[in-house]
Amino acid sequence: MSDTFKAILVSRDENKKQSVDTVDLREDDLMEGDVTVRVEATTVNYKDGLAITGKAPVIRKWPLIPGIDFAGTVTASQNPDWKPGDKVILNGWGVGETHHGAYAGRARVKGDWLVALPEEMSALDAMAIGTAGYTAMLCVIALERHAITPDRGPVVVTGAAGGVGSVAIAILSRLGYHVIASTGRASEADYLTGLGAAEVIDRAELSEPARALGKERWAGGIDAVGSHTLANVLSMTSYGGAVAACGLAGGMDLPTSVAPFILRGVSLLGIDSVMAPRQIREEAWQRLARDLDTQKLRALSQVKRFDDIVSTATDIVEGKVRGRVVIDMAG
Ligand code: NDP
């Protein structure tokens, strides 16, 4: 008989009313997979907030353990790539959506979904980065592949005080970019300049319906907000620039015109972290180990405990969380 471990379980009744409970489970209760991992650290992403509060249909199999990413140690493996004792990270692949996720003492997943924890990184640091930070890195890599180098001009980051935004600012500034941080929280200006933002602007400047073309203000952008914000970012991107779009914190729509694309040759780069192939994941995590200042990472993250997950989920969808929240499963 295996030991029990604590887990958060989200269930639905026959009227589709959602409930969230903390339960004791055994490894036998987990779903299929060829690798079992002791979860040592996880995090609360915006998507986890949507899943736990039920504000968006993130969970598509019931009942389910939410939590889209974790770091931990392999305890059992039938996969040739992994053996007990290996330190691993998981982001996405439907974990916490259709497959039991991170908010449990153990997780059983497909070995192909895992990447190795970079040697110089702790499980807690990996989850301070989490899916939000790894997505920020995917955005940076996409801009680089589009030749948006620091000499091309400033890069704007929207949703700046959030998880994706905070890590994006820290990476971009370390790489030498002039970063313009767009935030609705003026009180976080010192925090954002501390991360490396050269300028902080009010997100209200980008929240009204966009003109077809605006003044050229930046060579590139990382957008976590969507809707009018992304439309404005596009219309203010200079000739030949590019914007990496990864989020929808302000809305799923994109009320824009083709003007930035056909008159300025601006490119819109779509970023998905969930199904990203393993090769780009490994590249992103190696780059994070190299290009993200650990001191800044610690400054943008706060460590909480398993029992704080549900309240943090509510806070994040209400826009009350600054930077990143790490859950220390041993805490
Ligand atoms: P956070 O909640 O930490 O940050 C989102 C930020 O967006 C907030 O802090 C706020 O920034 C800003 N914001 C929130 N609501 C609004 C609004 N109505 N209008 C304008 N700005 C708003 O979330 P994350 O950083 O974890 O995620 C950001 C987005 O990226 C989410 O939509 C998430 O779903 C998406 N995402 C997508 C991934 C992918 O694979 N494509 C992976 C990871 C995340 P401020 O207070 O500074 O204004």
Q: Which atom of ligand 1 is nearest to the CA of 321?
A: 3
Does the structure show a pLDDT above 80 at 247? Answer: yes
Q: Tell me the CB-side half-sphere exposure of residue 297, using CA atoms within 13 A.
A: 22
Name the burial class of residue 13, with classes exposed (0-12), middle (13-18) and buried (19+) by CB atoms within 10 angstroms of its CB: exposed
Each residue's pLDDT tens digit, 75-88: 999 999 999 999 99
Give residue ranges with CB within 6 A of ligand 1.
45-47, 131-132, 135, 159-165, 183-185, 203, 224-225, 229, 246-250, 271-274, 316, 319, 321
- What's the average model confidence in pLDDT over 258-286? 96
Does the structure show a pLDDT above 90 at 2? Answer: no
Does the structure show a pLDDT above 80 at 331? Answer: no
d(CA 142, CA 138) in angstroms, rounded, equals 6
- C-alpha torsion sign, points 246, 102, 51, 46: negative
Report the chain's mean pLDDT, rounded to a whole number.
96
Banded model confidence at residue 53, pLDDT cuts 50, 70, 90: very high
Each residue's pLDDT tens digit, 166-190: 999 999 999 999 999 999 999 999 9
This prediction's pTM: 0.93
Query: 188: Cβ–Cβ under 8 A, 6 or more apart, which residues?
Result: 160, 161, 322
Residue 63 has a pLDDT of 97
Each residue's pLDDT tens digit, 86-114: 999 999 999 999 999 999 999 999 999 99
